[in-house]
Amino acid sequence: MSFQLIANDRAMILPNNRPHTTVVLAMSADGKIADQGRSPARFASPADKDHLEEQIAAVDGVLFGAGTLRAYGSTIRVLKPQLIQQRYQKLLPPQPVQIVVSASGNIDRQLSFFRQPVPRYLLTTSHGAKPWQNKTEFDQVIVCQASTKSKINWINALEILSAMGLKRLAVLGGGEIVAAMLAADLIDELWLTICPLLLGGNNAPTPVGGEGFREIVAPRLELVSAKVIVSEVFLHYRRQREDDLSTL
Ligand SMILES: NC(=O)c1ccc[n+]([C@@H]2O[C@H](COP(=O)([O-])OP(=O)(O)OC[C@H]3O[C@@H](n4cnc5c(N)ncnc54)[C@H](OP(=O)(O)O)[C@@H]3O)[C@@H](O)[C@H]2O)c1
């Protein structure tokens, strides 16, 4: 069964000093992106995997937190020949850059991620960059430290990625990364797939972790489309900003 609602499909306006960002996550019907043990989420259907691959094929870079990399050990590549062909037609390389965010730089070199044929960047602090100096695992190590030193300066980081030619980013989680980028108002769109299971657990991660937002200042969303494929719901949201509200 398939059902689709498209509420508002206005063209997306690309920001000019940073990449356009789209969060892509699958969650349980009770809003968890993994179980309480933070094991890798494998509950999405083949239709959701196709959707994820399409989103990845549409961008210049894929960004995710070290927690996500530690959970999965590897990343998702574009594999479908027609998607790779479409990238060539747009004069894009076959694979988007895979950008890992880690303040500590503490990432196991034995992970299969480092043997995957993809370009790899590390976004980190000066402390986190030290173990990767003069090493070949990452093609670029980008140091972009906030004044607290244990965090990334996100605005600066996205400006650097933009200057490196990355115009569109897919943000693949986890909840900590999404929370930090939302707090800095750096998220433009979200794709959330609701999957038919209940994970429960107070400590199971959700699409947005961190300290949370008070309702009055919580980021507002506009529904772009909603699609049902068998038992999953694919929700596409756009971040609604004050400028959007003032033009209504
Ligand atoms: N269902 C889905 O679609 C989906 C997708 C992705 C992930 N997941 C699940 O999500 C879980 C992982 O999510 P998570 O929230 O625990 O971790 P995460 O957001 O992937 O990564 C957290 C790590 O990212 C780094 N980090 C986060 N914010 C930072 C900042 N502001 N500055 C610098 N570094 C920062 C830190 O790395 P360091 O500790 O190295 O400093 C932190 O430990 C896993 O269970 C995974 O299965 C599910």
DSSP states of 36-58:
TT------S-HHHHHHHHHHHHT
Distance 100 CA to ligand 1 centre (A): 10
Establish whether residue 99 lines the binding site of ligand 1, counting it when its CB lies within 6 angstroms of any ligand atom: no
Q: What is the pLDDT of residue 4?
A: 52
CB count in 10 Å sphere of residue 208? 26
Going by alpha carbons, the residue nearest to atom 45 of ligand 1 is: 38
Task: Output the pTM of the full model.
Answer: 0.93
193, 54 Cβ separation under 8 angstroms: no
Q: Tell me: pLDDT of 1 over 50.
A: no
**Domain holding 47: CATH number?**
3.40.430.10
Which residues does residue 240 pair with via DSSP β-bridges, in sequence order? Answer: 220
Over range 34-46, report the average pLDDT. 95
Q: Which residue range(s) make up the domain with 228?
A: 2-246
Centre of ligand 1 from the C-alpha of residue 225, in Å: 27
What pLDDT score was predicted for residue 14? 62
pLDDT band at 9; cut points 50, 70, 90: very low
Q: With a 6 A CB cut-off, is 137 part of the ligand 1 pocket?
A: no
Spatial contact of 25 and 33, defined as CB atoms under 8 Å apart: yes
Give the count of domains, the chain. Answer: 1
> Residues 22, 247: contact at Cβ < 8 Å?
no
pLDDT, residue 3, reads 46
Output the CA 69–ligand 1 centroid distance in Å.
Answer: 8
CA 70 from chain center: how many Å?
Answer: 15
Identify which of 141, 205, 139, 128 has the alpha carbon closest to the alpha carbon of residue 173: 205
User: 200 vs 146, which has greater pLDDT?
Assistant: 200
